Chain A
Amino acid sequence: MARGWLLLLALIAGQGWAGDGGSDEPGSNSTVPGDAAGNGSAWVGDYRIRDARGERELRLVRDGTRIEYRIAGEPIRVWRQTSDGVELRELYPADQRMVVYVPGDLRTLDKVPDWAQLSGLVDPALRARLATAGNASAFAQPLARYRGADAQGKHVELDWLPAPGLPARYCTGKPDGSRCSGGDVIRLQGLTQIPVQQAFTPFDGLLEIDHADLGDMEMDAFVHGLSHAEHPAH
């Protein structure tokens, strides 16, 4: 279930989670500058992304404390800041179910996400190592261009929208190359700002299941199906 978004985060724009051990880094729960927190509206970005599973559409919905990813063929994922840390909900509207990873579950599974990367798609550390390469505008927003290389030395181009804190375009090339190859990894296709009440998928009517309980729910037909779909890549 959670492997899909991990794969996405790991492959498209840097390492957004710590992997084996030690993912409780300071600042991992920080919100993104320029976010729409507190004004009652949410950003909705429609993206075309390319990762190991091929090209896909991603709708990213975000306010100050919630981030929602919608990708066709996958459960809707909503991360939420709570008083105990980051919580993940995976929504299965067709099954009227919702699997909840409370903060303790994410810590136990070593899957505490980097909030900044989750909300902005691109690892902030990667953006910090790139050089500015001019300004423009796109989607009725000022746009900053960045160029440089990632930690592996691969050429990187990033077009960044500072106001929503979202990428407009991200691509990579070969090590020591001077241009991207193979097309864009992230491309924004539409950006809107809408009232929060209309932005996020409602939880109403979805029966909540704790992720911690899945191991004890093999007799439940829905959970049984989930556990056997958990490792599709293998």
Chain B
Amino acid sequence: MRHLSTILGCAALTMLVAGPGLTAEPEHIRGKASAKRAASAPAPARGESAQQWYSDGARAARAGAELRPSHRKAKNVILFVGDGMGLSTVAAARILEGQLKGRSGEENALSFERFPYLSLSKTYSVDGQTADSAPTMTAMMSGIKTNQGVLGVTQDARYNNCASAKGKGVASLLEVAEALGMSTGIVSTARITHATPAATYAHTPNRDWESDAELSAEAKASGCKDIARQLIEFPYGNGLEVALGGGRSYFLPNTLNDPEDTSSKGRRLDGRNLANEWGSKPASAYVWNKAQFDAINPATTKHLLGLFERSHMEYEADRPLDAGKEPSLAEMTAKSIDILQNRNGNKGYFLMVEGGRVDHAHHAGNASRALVDAIALSDAVRTAQRKSSDEDTLIIVTADHSHTFTIAGYPDRGNNILGKVVTDGALALDSDGKPYTTLGYINGPGYRGPAARPDLTNVDTANVNFLQEAAVPLGSETHAAEDVGIYATGPGAHAFQGVVEQNVVFHVMAQSQRDTSFFFCSLFGGCGKNDKKSSLAPPLLEADLRAGMTKQ
């Protein structure tokens, strides 16, 4: 008791000394706060109390202090990428998911927000302050930063110049994993040839060279292969075990009708049917709809290619409307893990899963679809956690870049995140007396000018088709340059500390997985006391990996 009195006495003294400074709020803030308190409705009953806040906070602090890193090596690595899923998207998706469960929302946590380790990732590219998905995913998959618009090549390669990219290919973690005998897979709701999934297996100075129809004359003359072809002709190990996503037309010849949209054809000019080429290999299958996907037996299928749309798959919000029917991201993740676990024996697997359409919905200025797709990614992460073990599987969730998406105003607790700002129970109004939404964009198609802002009083802003307002008129909303989160759990996850360059993601994966760690340590050293000096300078070029495989 005496001890407590002393402590309280010291604290009181501190308060008295510091008092004037601590209470010196500007008048307008004090006035506003007082007015708000006066107008506040009673807090809604959520079972929250001061005691609970304190206890929960203390419990979280203790859990953090007691957390001890796992020094095991991971057998498996799963990388989740929410394309364009910046911190504001994560926060808004968290609230929306909570509200869809009938709660206030703010207190909710997406599956990966419960992971123990967190870093912030700096996403700039070699030549861009605000990056696109090609150099950012190259950073995460190959360990180096590179130029805008290029995939799996060093910064010495010039955008759109095939000749300049010769010999500049950098090996990706997926390629090394395959070369080491691991199983590998990629899943995306975007085209499987789109920048993020393509950075796991392709090397090209132009991310848009997805089929041979997009190759420039110079690219053809200099011998560059299109991205779809690179997937099918993947040279390492026994090829990818799983590739699921959209982009069917990039694999089909322009003489063949699409199976779902029969009045459209494939894009390929070379006459090749790459989907059939994949499916014709032993124990391999190609599927294009959910019924076929559901019928796949993971125990007997060694290589699965699923192309569920001519281009990108549907937004999660529209998936029920699709005529051909598509699996969800969580279903694709589950099937992938089943196949990879059946195939890998004791070698482990690498899986990349992309929520690819968060980015597209943001570009369209449509927050509802972006958030629903972010929630779908969270569901897929939960599925992966359920089907794997924290003891031997490193799971990382991150984004390639952010968007100009904002959460603004002073909405009351539990206010519909897709709705108009309601403060103290009343619509908050702008200086012209019009309501405004909590969510918005700095730029994009949601611009309503140049006349005065529209009156949203009678507009259902929570409608899935509503475009949030944007300040600057642009046909497509743009990426943003602020950091994105890296959330990690499992062996090696503790390496994520502080603010890091985006290419650190590759290095954490490489050093955490048992076989890749040994491989890169043997190659480049830097892993302990008994290091021998390597004659090979990093990064590992694709040509070197190929040469190494040939010698094997």
User: Is the pair B364, A108 in contact by a Cβ cutoff of 8 Å?
Assistant: yes
Distance, CA A120 to CA B314, complexed state (A) = 30
**B482 located at the interface, meaning its Cβ lies under 8 Å from any Cβ of chain A in the complex:** no
Chain A proximity mask over B457-497: 1 for CB below 8 Å, otherwise 0: 00111011111000001111111000000000000000000
User: Is the pair B315, A104 in contact by a Cβ cutoff of 8 Å?
Assistant: yes
Assuming the A-B contacts A20-B454, A21-B465, are A84 and B133 also in contact, with contact meaning beta carbons closer than 8 angstroms in the complex?
A: no
Across the interface, which residues of B come within 8 angstroms of A234, CB to CB? 449-450, 473
**A85 located at the interface, meaning its Cβ lies under 8 Å from any Cβ of chain B in the complex:** yes
User: Is the pair B466, A231 in contact by a Cβ cutoff of 8 Å?
Assistant: no
**A57 located at the interface, meaning its Cβ lies under 8 Å from any Cβ of chain B in the complex:** no
Chain B proximity mask over A110-143: 1 for CB below 8 Å, otherwise 0: 1010000000000000000000000000000000
Chain B proximity mask over A198-219: 1 for CB below 8 Å, otherwise 0: 0000000001101011111111
User: Is the pair B311, A227 in contact by a Cβ cutoff of 8 Å?
Assistant: no
* Smallest beta-carbon distance B252→chain A, Å: 13
8 new A-B contacts at CB < 8 Å, known A21-B465, A105-B364: A20-B466, A20-B467, A22-B460, A84-B261, A108-B465, A215-B360, A227-B476, A230-B473
- Residue from A22, A82, A216, A217 having most chain B Cβ neighbours under 10 A: A216
B318-372 with Cβ < 8 A to chain A = 318, 321-324, 357, 359-361, 363-366, 369
Size of interface on A: residues with Cβ below 8 Å to B: 39
B257-280 with Cβ < 8 A to chain A = 260-261, 263, 267
**A179 located at the interface, meaning its Cβ lies under 8 Å from any Cβ of chain B in the complex:** no
**B159 located at the interface, meaning its Cβ lies under 8 Å from any Cβ of chain A in the complex:** yes
Across the interface, which residues of B come within 8 angstroms of A82, CB to CB? 261, 263, 323
**B506 located at the interface, meaning its Cβ lies under 8 Å from any Cβ of chain A in the complex:** no
User: Is the pair A227, B369 in contact by a Cβ cutoff of 8 Å?
Assistant: no
Assuming the A-B contacts A20-B454, A84-B322, A227-B475, are A212 and B364 also in contact, with contact meaning beta carbons closer than 8 angstroms in the complex?
A: yes
| Chain B: interface size category | 35 or more
Q: Which residues of B contact A (CB under 8 A)?
A: 132-133, 148-149, 159-160, 195, 207-208, 213-214, 249, 260-261, 263, 267, 311-312, 314-315, 318, 321-324, 357, 359-361, 363-366, 369, 445, 447, 449-450, 454, 456, 459-461, 463-467, 473-479
* Smallest beta-carbon distance B458→chain A, Å: 10
Across the interface, which residues of A come within 8 angstroms of B312, CB to CB? 102, 104, 210, 212
User: Is the pair A220, B208 in contact by a Cβ cutoff of 8 Å?
Assistant: yes
Distance, CA A219 to CA B206, complexed state (A) = 10
Chain B proximity mask over A11-26: 1 for CB below 8 Å, otherwise 0: 0000000101111100
